[in-house]
Structure 1
């Protein structure tokens, strides 16, 4: 670039910054003028596939896996597996919840178990920033339903008329002598207590309904304030002006070749820069995960061309299979936090210097060094230190949100509770190896006279005063 062009560019940048300041735009929004979309979903069967995963998109059609494609939350309650998550933001934007089906097919549960004697609970996480999440808890929503046998595919939508959420889900329950899946609802404000469940959607006869998701439509678009898509043999579209009021059937997607025998898990996305929506559908019959269907008129599915399949090559779902979840339109501040927290950092092993066939690993949340361990118990993501810049923390790959933390002189794998004390205990300065400067040692942030070391193959935090101690306190990060 010529000197003149460089000078002009600098002037333009300064002018833009000045205008930004005059407009009163926050630093977060200035840093991320075009925030994207966050999808939370599961990716398949088994103990790791049925956990929480995050993906990110700048345009709502092309998605990238966050956290190097690894899970972002792991259920440690109930069946220890989760599916069908809904990500809920409070009206003031100060709190978030993930609610999910408590289900782990192939982890000691079959589909017959899940249908006829499954968990009556939902799994819930809570956060104030989309970054640090609580430990999960179980919310019993189906225990009071006559012959209620499970609780699947939860969703929630804020009802400003009552200042509460309408929480809705599917349960295989008995009503009028017919046992089948219906949609039930309760009200809640905190996802810890709920009102008595009531029937919300009951299709005629023996027709079941399992998946449904509601989207709020802006004023001036169509004839309804709310539109919902449901899997009930078809992908049925309905409209209403009240969440719990009368819903009118508007049609289905059979006209574009999509029925409930092919797709499930409807998931809405409203594009930020235009009145257009994507209705994502999980291609479960073909085992392909999500695909988008586009529309500028959600309430007219029967109109020719109203719902349409996107052109080939105009969307990409990324490296992992995306299955039944939900999408959140991010603010600039949320976008920045998500990008920083769930950056793609590969999992690595911490290899012992003086026992080079041994690696740091967790087992039942205790931490030690073991021989030749290659599974995810020995893999950690080296994150920016929780307590201060220029430091590091070690997050477990297979228990995200859990970090190596010292407790006195001992170590454990512990859930980040967001406190200052936890941050200090889980933060270290990476320095030249005490036994070999080509390796590394890790000095405690809040006890700088002590280092991570192993002793009798257990991980400890101790002062280092001997040659043996220096060797025990020296490690290498390796794949």
Structure 2
């Protein structure tokens, strides 16, 4: 009897633990979110190891965008292929948690399109945050291995489903048909983006027609005939409507009425304007390489209401923006985001003992020159050090994401590769000038007995044992 009671007790404890674990993972019920005042876009920029990472842009009106963090990347994938595309921003219904989910793909940095299509990563990359500015280390979420003959997992999106009390996570997977590529949209349900239900087909086009990009927007009661509208890239831009995320979807039309036909656009990205019933459907003009185009509508489920913007009414910012997503920001969220990813001042770095010369990069080498041309080659941002701890890193203005980095005690302009070694090589302590306390010297974080100095006009990382080397290692940071 005592053994039976012990087993019953253990079972009760286990059940309680299981319930507690599920309760902790289950998102809060929808809460009243504060009024939204701004917009945050997550995106990638192009086919390179630095372009296929997470970038952010901000807008106050939804049409004019400013790149955050000096235009540099804000999150780098350190898992899977070590590159990410097609990021989606997800806010919990309670407004207390956020996720970024993205395609695990890095074209032209160890992987080509054929491999990515036919034997690509079956994972998505996920980050989690409680405040939109401090993000977890990324993890891989395997979504496509459970799909028979599934070859990859691309372009993820997620939407909270009030009917089931969890998220519908959906993405594209290539399941070949008669030996030819055929991407279809699959979905699974999740509460935490760490585990999912068995993937199921979600959107499939007839015959050999593929579909890769799709994104759903929710419309309020009284606007249009459907509660949910989705835009999909399937050889054209198809608009469909439904009153349930996992219900029956009806084809409404396309955008041929405004001249967007065939394969001109992809990467649909919805945004509802704050405080009014008007929407933007951003479309990536990939065929012409012109980036995102906003298409406006007051009724997402009526293709006849879609219209092109007036000339000069929008500005996508300096960075090229590829397939991403937009989150409407509350005032508190916006304040946190802008404080964390604000721009830093543009400076020049003047030599102390050769005062007509300034630090500049040229063909990724670094030197001191007079009359720097183009002027941007001699402009820098002193940003918080890549290793933190009250340090600085020196970022190029015209090559965002590229930093002064010591390599074998020489200096190069290189892209941050996300490694601890790079961070240490590109981090310095800004101290009083070694030749004049009113100027500045830069002590190496990685080699604290060495400083940035010029020698024969080239920048080096050297010890400074004498007056000449100390003068060579003294600079003025000017506006």
Give the TM-score of the pair, scaled to structure 2: 0.72
Alignment of 1:70-469 (within 5 A): 70-174=72-176, 179-301=181-303, 304=304, 306-345=305-344, 381-383=382-384, 394=393, 432-433=432-433, 435-440=435-440, 453-454=449-450
C-alpha distance in structure 1 between counterparts of 2:476 and 2:142, whole Å: 46
Q: Taking structure 1 as reference, are residues 225 and 453 closer, same or farther at Cα in structure 2, changes over 3 Å only?
A: farther
When residues 371 and 385 of structure 1 are mapped into structure 2, their CA distance, relative to the original with a 3 A threshold, is closer
User: Offset at 1:382?
Assistant: 2.2
5+ unaligned residues in a row in structure 2: which ranges?
1-33, 360-364, 370-376, 406-415, 420-426, 454-459
Q: 1:148 to 1:386 in 2, by over 3 A?
A: closer
Does the 8 Å contact 1:150/1:171 carry over to 2? yes
In structure 2, C-alpha distance between the alignment counterparts of 1:399 and 1:77, rounded to whole Å: 23
Contact 2:184 / 2:212 at 8 angstroms: preserved in 1? yes
After superposition, the Cα gap between the structure-2 partners of 1:263 and 1:329, relative to the gap in structure 1 and judged at 3 Å, is same
* Contact 2:432-2:441 within 8 A present in 1 as well: yes
d(CA) in 1 for partners of 2:417 and 2:208? Answer: 47
Q: Indicate if the aligned counterparts of 1:102 and 1:122 stay in contact, CA closer than 8 A.
A: yes
CA distance in 2 between counterparts of 1:115 and 1:56 reads 32
Aligned length: 411
User: In the alignment, is the contact (CA less than 8 A) between 2:88 and 2:157 conserved in 1?
Assistant: yes
Q: What's the secondary structure of 1:267's corresponding residue?
A: strand
Q: Secondary structure at the match of 2:50?
A: helix
The Cα offsets for residues 179-208 of structure 1, whole Å up to 9 and x where unpaired, read as 510001111122122222111111111111
Is the Cα–Cα contact under 8 Å of residues 237 and 250 in structure 1 kept in the other structure? yes
Aligned to 1:62: 64
What is the Cα deviation at residue 395 of structure 1?
8.4
1:312 and 1:90 map into 2 onto residues whose CA distance is: 36
Q: Is the 8 A contact 2:43 2:55 kept in 1?
A: yes
Match of 1:365 in 2: none
Per the alignment, in what secondary structure is the counterpart of residue 182 of structure 2?
Answer: strand
Query: Compared with structure 1, are the counterparts of its residues 106 and 314 closer, same or farther at alpha carbon in structure 2 (3 Å cutoff)?
Result: same
**Inter-CA distance 427–236: structure 2 relative to 1 (3 Å threshold):** same
Question: Is the alpha carbon distance of 1:236 and 1:456 closer, same or farther for their aligned partners in structure 2, counting shifts above 3 Å?
Answer: closer
Structural mapping, 1:33-72, within 5 Å? 35-72=37-74
CA distance in 1: counterparts of 2:473 and 2:98, whole angstroms: 40
CA drift at 1:209: 0.3
How far did residue 92 of structure 1 move? Answer: 1.7
Q: Deviations over 1:142-188 (max 9, x none)?
A: 11211111111100011123222111000001479875100011111
Task: Give the distance between the partners of 1:172 and 1:234, measured in 2 at CA.
Answer: 19
Note the alpha carbon deviations across 1:402-450, whole angstroms, 9 max, x for none: 9x9xxxxxxxx9989xxxxxxxxx997x553355313336899xxxxxx
Q: Deviations over 1:331-376 (max 9, x none)?
A: 101111111111122688999999x99x9xxxxxxxxxx98599x9
**C-alpha deviation, 1:280, in angstroms:** 0.4
Structure 1 residue 327: deviation in Å? 0.5
Distance 1:456 1:285 in 2: 46
| More moved, 323-332 vs 171-180 | 171-180
Q: Say if 1:385 and 1:436 are closer, same or farther in 2 by CA, change over 3 A.
A: farther
- Is the contact between residue 86 and residue 325 of structure 1 (CA under 8 Å) also seen in structure 2? yes
CA contact (8 A) 1:212 1:265 kept: yes
Q: Deviations over 1:249-268 (max 9, x none)?
A: 11111121112410000000
Question: How much has 1:283 moved relative to structure 2?
Answer: 0.1
User: C-alpha separation between the residues in 1 aligned to 2:109 and 2:418?
Assistant: 23
Q: Is the 8 Å Cα contact of residues 280 and 293 (structure 1) preserved in structure 2?
A: yes
- What TM-score comes out, normalization by structure 1 length? 0.72
Distance 1:326 1:455, change over 3 A: closer
| Partners of 1:477 and 1:382 in 2: CA distance | 13
